[in-house]
């Protein structure tokens, strides 16, 4: 988790069968967003790397592959995962890829900050301020473990995951519109450029470039 929040003790209302189905859908959306957020927040640790290399992500990827628009990027990510064992030092080489993509010169790399794409290349611009306001409005803050500004993609995806979880419990047209607007205006508008930048960086593995393509396609 990249965000921290206060405990919500509000009891969830009784849901109709239709609302229960919608709730299951939104819980699944939250799961996907949380998965993306976790992968983009920091390098894979040894436990996570072993899990991927042992095939634990296969069921989730197979589920996503069933969506026609996602088939190609899912296949690319699956292929990248299946070849991780060919790396001499997978953990170190993936960590180097992570640094090359997300921690290097923002003018040329796919730096994971919305401001870079939405605010004419300026960091700490209106995009950051909007995210800070959104987090404050729901009583959430960036985890102390992640020293990143609020417009970092992993934080935005974590926030979106929370929005979907709230929708699962309280599905209303207004809340649905709020979440949809966030996706369209704050994510979908810049993720394709971000993913394209990732394809231009020389990496030891295609794991992260494929992941970026999948994230962009998922919200496209």
The domain segmentation of the chain, as residue ranges, is 15-218
pLDDT by 10s per residue, the chain, length 220:
566 554 444 455 566 666 677 778 999 999 999 999 999 999 999 999 999 999 999 999 999 999 999 999 999 999 999 999 999 999 999 999 999 999 988 777 899 999 999 998 888 889 999 999 999 998 888 877 778 999 999 999 999 999 999 999 988 899 999 999 999 999 999 999 999 999 999 999 999 999 999 999 999 8
Specify the pLDDT at position 1. Answer: 56
The DSSP element (H or E) to which 215 belongs, if any, is helix 207-218
**Alpha carbon 64 to its chain's center:** 15
What is the distance between the alpha carbons of residues 206 and 109, in angstroms, rounded to a whole number?
Answer: 15
Q: What is the pLDDT of residue 6?
A: 43
Q: Enter the tokens of residue 218.
A: 């998922």
Alpha helices in 70-190 (DSSP H): 71-82, 90-102, 114-118, 126-137, 153-169, 173-182
Quick one: pLDDT at residue 35? Answer: 97
What's the CATH number of domain 15-218, 1.20.272.10, 1.20.1730.10, 1.10.3480.10, 3.30.70.1890? 1.10.3480.10
On the CB side of 217, CA atoms within 13 Å amount to 19
Please, where are the H alpha helices in 138-206? 153-169, 173-182, 191-199
Whether residue 140 contacts residue 3, with contact meaning beta carbons closer than 8 Å, is answered with yes
**Structure token pair of residue 85:** 């064992």
């Amino acid at each position: 988790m990249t965000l921290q929040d206060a405990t919500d003790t509000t009891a969830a209302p009784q849901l109709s069968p239709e609302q229960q189905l919608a709730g299951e859908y939104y819980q699944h959306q939250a799961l996907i967003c949380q998965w993306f957020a976790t992968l983009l927040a920091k390098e894979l640790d040894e436990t996570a790397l072993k899990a991927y290399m042992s095939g634990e992500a296969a069921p989730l990827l197979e589920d996503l592959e069933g969506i026609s628009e996602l088939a190609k990027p899912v296949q690319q990510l699956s292929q990248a995962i299946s070849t991780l064992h060919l790396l001499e030092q997978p953990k170190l080489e993936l960590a180097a890829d992570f640094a090359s993509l997300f921690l290097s010169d923002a003018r040329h790399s796919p730096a994971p900050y919305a401001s870079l794409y939405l605010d004419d290349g300026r960091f700490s611009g209106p995009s950051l301020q909007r995210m800070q306001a959104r987090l404050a409005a729901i009583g959430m803050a960036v985890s102390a473990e992640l020293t990143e500004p609020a417009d970092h993609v992993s934080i935005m995806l974590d926030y979106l995951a929370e929005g979907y979880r709230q929708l699962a419990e309280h599905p209303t047209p207004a809340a649905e519109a709020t979440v949809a607007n966030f996706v369209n205006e704050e994510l979908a508008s810049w993720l394709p450029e971000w993913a394209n930048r990732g394809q231009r960086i020389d990496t030891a593995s295609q794991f992260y470039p494929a992941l970026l393509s999948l994230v962009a396609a998922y919200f496209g």
